[in-house]
Structure 1
Amino acid sequence: MAAIESTVHRTSEDFKKNRLAMEALLDRVRKIENDTRQASESSGPKFAARGQLLPTERVGLLLDHDSDFLELATLAGYGYKPLDRHGREVAGGGLIAGIGTISGTRCMICASDSGIEAGAFQPMGLEKLLRIQEIALENKLPFVQLIESGGGNLMNYKVENFVIGGEKYRNLARLSAAGIPVITVAHGSATAGGAYQIGLSDYVIMVDGHAKAFLAGPALLKAATGEEASEEELGGARMHCSTSGLGDYLAHDDRDAIRIAREVIALLDWEKDTAATGTAPAPRYSAEDLMGIMPIDNNRAVDMREIIARIVDDSDFHDFASQYGRDTICGKARIDNIAVGIITNNGPIDPAGAAKAAHFIQACCQSGTPLLYLNNTTGFMVGRSYEQSGSITHGSMMIQAVSNASVPQITLFCGASFGAGHYAMCGRAFSPRFCFSWPNARCAVMGSEQAANTMEMVARAKSARSNKPVDEEKLSEQREKIIHNFEKQADVFATSARLLDDGVIDPRDTRAVLAKALHICLDAQTRTTHPLSFSVPHP
Structure 2
Amino acid sequence: MPVLTSRIDLQGDQFQSNRAAQLKLIDDFRAAEKRVRDNSGKQAEKFAKRGQLLPRDRVARLLDRGAPFLELSTLAGFNMHDDDGKGDASGGGCIVGIGVVSGVRCIVSASDSAIKGGAISPMGLRKSLRAQEIALEHKLPIISCVESAGANLLYQAEIFVDGGRVFANMARLSAAGVPQITIVHGSSTAGGAYLPGLSDYVIAVRGQAKVFLAGPPLVEAALGEVATDEELGGAELHATVTGTAEYIAENDAHAIHLARELLANLQRAPLSRFAHDLSTRPHRPPRYDVEDLLGIVPVDFKKPYDVREVIARLVDDSDFFEFKALYGAATVCGHAQIEGHAVGILGNNGPINPDGACKAGQFIQLCCQSGTPLIFLQNTTGYMVGTAAERAGMVKHGSKMIQAVANADVPKLTVILGGSFGAGNYGMCGRSYDPRFVFAWPGSRIAVMGGEQAAKVMEIITTAKFARMGVEPDADAMAQMGKSIKDRLDAESTALYATARLWDDGLIDPRDTRRVLALALAVCREGEARRVRPNTFGVARL
TM-score by length of 2: 0.97
Alignment of structure 1 residues 176-255 onto 2, 5 Å: 176-255=174-253
Structure 2 residue aligned with 1:461:
464
Check if 1:363 corresponds to 2:396: no
Alignment deviations for residues 58-107 of structure 1 (CA, whole Å, 9 cap, x no partner): 001000112221000001000114677x9525141001110000000001
For 2:27, give the aligned amino acid: D
Alignment deviations for residues 287-330 of structure 1 (CA, whole Å, 9 cap, x no partner): 00011110111111100000000010000000001111000000
Structure 2 counterpart SS, 1:2? coil
Offset at 1:220? 1.2
Structure 2 residue aligned with 1:29:
29
Question: Unpaired segments of 5 or more residues in structure 1?
Answer: none
For 2:258, give the aligned amino acid: I
Change in 2 beyond 3 A, CA 1:125/1:247:
same
Offset at 1:159? 2.3
Task: Provide the C-alpha distance between the structure 2 equivalents of 1:10 and 1:279, rounded to a whole number of angstroms.
Answer: 30
Alignment deviations for residues 120-178 of structure 1 (CA, whole Å, 9 cap, x no partner): 11341011000011011101100110000000122x13324101110011111111110
Offset at 1:410? 0.4
Structure 1 counterpart SS, 2:505? coil
**Please, which of 469, 479, 482 is the counterpart of residue 479 of structure 1?**
482
Task: Provide the C-alpha distance between the structure 1 equivalents of 2:82 and 2:126, rounded to a whole number of angstroms.
Answer: 20
Structure 2 counterpart SS, 1:216? coil
Task: Provide the C-alpha distance between the structure 2 equivalents of 1:24 and 1:249, rounded to a whole number of angstroms.
Answer: 48
Check if 1:352 corresponds to 2:351: no
Check if 1:513 corresponds to 2:516: yes
Offset at 1:277? 5.7
Check if 1:158 corresponds to 2:174: no
Residues 419 and 446 in structure 2, CA contact (< 8 A), matched pair in contact too: yes
Task: Provide the C-alpha distance between the structure 1 equivalents of 2:411 and 2:68, rounded to a whole number of angstroms.
Answer: 22
Task: Provide the C-alpha distance between the structure 2 equivalents of 1:275 and 1:332, rounded to a whole number of angstroms.
Answer: 25
Residues 90 and 115 in structure 2, CA contact (< 8 A), matched pair in contact too: no
Structure 1 residue aligned with 2:70:
70
For 1:24, give the aligned amino acid: K
Task: Provide the C-alpha distance between the structure 2 equivalents of 1:31 and 1:88, rounded to a whole number of angstroms.
Answer: 12
Residues 76 and 123 in structure 1, CA contact (< 8 A), matched pair in contact too: no
Residues 183 and 202 in structure 1, CA contact (< 8 A), matched pair in contact too: yes
Check if 1:120 corresponds to 2:123: no
Check if 1:323 corresponds to 2:326: yes
Task: Provide the C-alpha distance between the structure 1 equivalents of 2:311 and 2:391, rounded to a whole number of angstroms.
Answer: 33
Change in 2 beyond 3 A, CA 1:500/1:278:
closer
TM-score by length of 1: 0.98
For 2:449, give the aligned amino acid: M
Residues 32 and 91 in structure 1, CA contact (< 8 A), matched pair in contact too: no
**Please, which of 387, 392, 396 is the counterpart of residue 393 of structure 1?**
396
Structure 1 counterpart SS, 2:328? coil
Alignment deviations for residues 166-204 of structure 1 (CA, whole Å, 9 cap, x no partner): 001111111111000000000000011111011010010
Task: Provide the C-alpha distance between the structure 2 equivalents of 1:102 and 1:82, rounded to a whole number of angstroms.
Answer: 33
Structure 1 counterpart SS, 2:507? coil
Change in 2 beyond 3 A, CA 1:460/1:369:
same
Offset at 1:431? 0.8
Alignment deviations for residues 404-457 of structure 1 (CA, whole Å, 9 cap, x no partner): 001000000000000100000000011100110011110010111110000001
For 1:98, give the aligned amino acid: G
Task: Provide the C-alpha distance between the structure 2 equivalents of 1:138 and 1:71, rounded to a whole number of angstroms.
Answer: 18
Check if 1:418 corresponds to 2:421: yes
Task: Provide the C-alpha distance between the structure 1 equivalents of 2:533 and 2:425, rounded to a whole number of angstroms.
Answer: 37
Check if 1:451 corresponds to 2:454: yes
Identity %: 51
Task: Provide the C-alpha distance between the structure 1 equivalents of 2:51 and 2:403, rounded to a whole number of angstroms.
Answer: 55
Moved over 6 A (4+): none
Alignment of structure 1 residues 227-306 onto 2, 5 Å: 227-269=225-267, 270-274=273-277, 278-306=281-309
Alignment deviations for residues 434-489 of structure 1 (CA, whole Å, 9 cap, x no partner): 11001111001011111000000111111111111111121112111101110111
Task: Provide the C-alpha distance between the structure 1 equivalents of 2:281 and 2:31, rounded to a whole number of angstroms.
Answer: 38
Residues 355 and 397 in structure 1, CA contact (< 8 A), matched pair in contact too: yes
For 2:68, give the aligned amino acid: D
For 1:115, give the aligned amino acid: A
Question: Unpaired segments of 5 or more residues in structure 2?
Answer: 268-272
Alignment deviations for residues 325-347 of structure 1 (CA, whole Å, 9 cap, x no partner): 00000000000011000001100
The Cα RMSD (Å) is 1.2
Residues 64 and 102 in structure 1, CA contact (< 8 A), matched pair in contact too: yes
Structure 2 counterpart SS, 1:212? coil
Check if 1:332 corresponds to 2:331: no
Residues 173 and 179 in structure 2, CA contact (< 8 A), matched pair in contact too: yes
